[in-house]
Chain A
Amino acid sequence: MSYNAALTDLIIKMADDELIQGHRNSEWTGLGPVMEEDIAFSSMAQDKIGHAWALYRILHENLEGKDPDKFAFHRPEKDFKCSHLVEMPNEEYGFSLMRHFLFDHAEAIRYESLVDSSFEPFRILSKKVKGELKYHTLHANAWIMQLSQAGEESYQRMQEALNNTVALAAGIFEPSPEYENILIAERIYPGEAALYQRWLDRIYPILVKASLNLPDMKTITPAYGGRQAIHTPYLRPLLKEMGEVFNLDAEASW
């Protein structure tokens, strides 16, 4: 049934994004620039992974999906539908902060749109994560503002980070050629094009306040492909590492 297939596709995209973003952010746990920030960033990594878990559970309970642990830790790369943005390695903290800023606003807008979804589990989940996402975007905004106003080097780093992430972030909103119309018609969510527009409206004024230049988005080629399981070279080693222990014996209990 195409309704279920469409819904499943959307949930996997959302969940895989959350899992991989959370995984990348958790790589900073214990190694952050200052202890207080280490703690804050780690909480948000936990929240992202928690959101992924919740989404895989929805899949499991409502759409005949596999057990969440198996689905996340034992699935081949070709079945992952995360965006390229979240796959990228951390490199510098500026990159991670900018990715956090762009991703979390996109995520917040997506969950806001699910408050009146026709799919009940989405409505419940969107209420549950609202407070967390409020903190995540507050944290991201605070850092973007502070570091872009903290001298030349810091400003340059943040502008460079924005330049390096914006096309990747636009790739979050890669629409599904097969399912987009069904999901909109069934009032599951408003569709990627609408979310993309809302996202730009949300981040633009913050970037202006931070004196950062958002490139003309019409000239940008969004990094599409992730939703069609075409991935960057960074995903495969990440998945191998993530499943290393679990896949010693995927039938065992860990």
Chain B
Amino acid sequence: MSNESLDPRVNRLKLGEAGEIVKVEEGENWNIYEVFHQEKRGAHHEHVGCVHAPDPQLALVFAKEQFGRRKKCVNLWVVKSADILAFDVEDEDMFANNLEKTYRDASGFKVMEKINKFKQSK
């Protein structure tokens, strides 16, 4: 195709033939790194997304602009997606809270009741 764009920015590119097939090979966009963002010192790093990168160093360089350029940010972690381990969704029931495990909660302990009872008994 002769490039008849009005646009110098496009004209400069000297585009090829319209019918030409351009194909990207699988893996050409590299591997995936999960990105964790720390908003301020003392805060947790939180998962915010991922970047495609050839290695951890460039993953961090990329993450800095993709995830740190707008939102306040003081540091980032990157970790290869393949290294994340998680439970299956079907195992969600493991996390269900047993009602009888109140000994784990503050509400399971009625301190004031005991104090009041003690005071009244005086």
Contact = CB atoms under 8 A, between A and B. Distances in A.
Contacts of B52: 34-36
B29 A142 contact: no
Given A27-B9, A34-B30, A241-B8, A39 B62 contact: yes
B61 interface: yes
Interface string B1-16: 0000000110011000
A142 B93 CA distance: 45
A139 B61 contact: yes
Given A43-B65, A146-B58, A36 B53 contact: yes
Contacts, number: 38
A35 B8 CA distance: 23
B75 interface: no
B67 to A, nearest CB: 10
A150 to B, nearest CB: 8
A160 B57 CA distance: 25
Given A138-B61, A139-B61, A146 B9 contact: no
Interface residues on B, range: 10 to 19
Contacts of B62: 36-37, 39-40
A34 B53 CA distance: 9
Contact of B69 (A43, A138, A142): A43
B65 A39 contact: yes
Contact of B51 (A27, A31, A36, A146): A36
Does more than half of chain A's interface fall in helix, strand or loop, or is it mixed?
Answer: helix
A208 to B, nearest CB: 19
B29 A40 contact: no
Contacts of A35: 52
A93 interface: no
A40 B64 contact: yes
A139 B57 CA distance: 10
Given A34-B29, A34-B30, A142 B66 contact: no
Contacts of B64: 40, 135
Interface string B38-72: 00000000000001111101100110111001000
Contacts of A40: 61-62, 64-66
A42 to B, nearest CB: 8
A241 B9 CA distance: 9
Interface-central residue, B9, B61, B64, by most chain A CB under 10 Å: B61
Contacts of A27: 9, 12
Nearest to B9: A27
B66 A36 contact: yes
Contacts of A142: 57-58, 61
6 contacts: A27-B9, A36-B65, A39-B65, A43-B69, A142-B57, A146-B57
Given A27-B12, A146-B54, 9 more contacts: A36-B66, A40-B61, A40-B62, A40-B64, A142-B57, A142-B58, A142-B61, A143-B58, A146-B58
